[in-house]
Amino acid sequence: MAGARRLGVAIDFSACSIKALNWTLDNVVKEGDHLILIVVRHATYEHGEMQLWETTGSPLIPLSEFAEPAAMKKYQFKPEPAVIDIVQTAARQKNIMVLMKIYWGDAREKLCEAVDQVPLDSLIMGNRGLGTLQRVIMGSVSNFVVNNATCPVTVVKTQDHKR
């Protein structure tokens, strides 16, 4: 990946993360970039390779592999077909490399770890549009990552963002 920008997009397949992905493709990605979809799963696994991956995350998974359901079976994960379509089209049209990395655990911590482990030049993420009280009670993943990641972080807000 030498010389190419490594742009991470935090994706949980929600509407706000898909919006962040589309925004990244429309506004940031250039030919030759590496687009790395960072997925954080809440489940933990206690067998085989999964036990190792819980600490470091999965290996970088090429688009050709995560588009194949049989290949993704070893990660016990099935990406949304709409997202696969979006990134396959972008890979062809913009001549970019698309990869995925899966982490297991707390999204706030794992997204910050991904920035250093991959490493990423920039991370783009959506927000859920939580109101002030909900953010205080539940915490904000985007707020935590903005304040703790070691690379620039862009938060793509939803249009119905509540203050």
Tens-place pLDDT, residues 10-49: 999 989 999 999 999 999 999 999 999 999 988 665 556 6
**Which structural domain range is residue 103 located in?**
6-156
161 occurs within a structural domain: no
Side chain identity at residue 59, one-letter code:
P
Cβ atoms within 10 Å of 35's Cβ, excluding its own: 26
Cβ-based neighbours of 33, under 8 Å, separated by 6 or more: 4, 5, 6, 7, 94, 96, 97
Is 47 domain-assigned? yes
Rg (CA), the chain: 15
Q: What CATH number is given to the structural domain containing 143? A: 3.40.50.620
**30 phi/psi in degrees, rounded to 5:** -125, 160
Place of tokens 């490493």: 119
Q: Does residue 50 carry a pLDDT above 70?
A: no
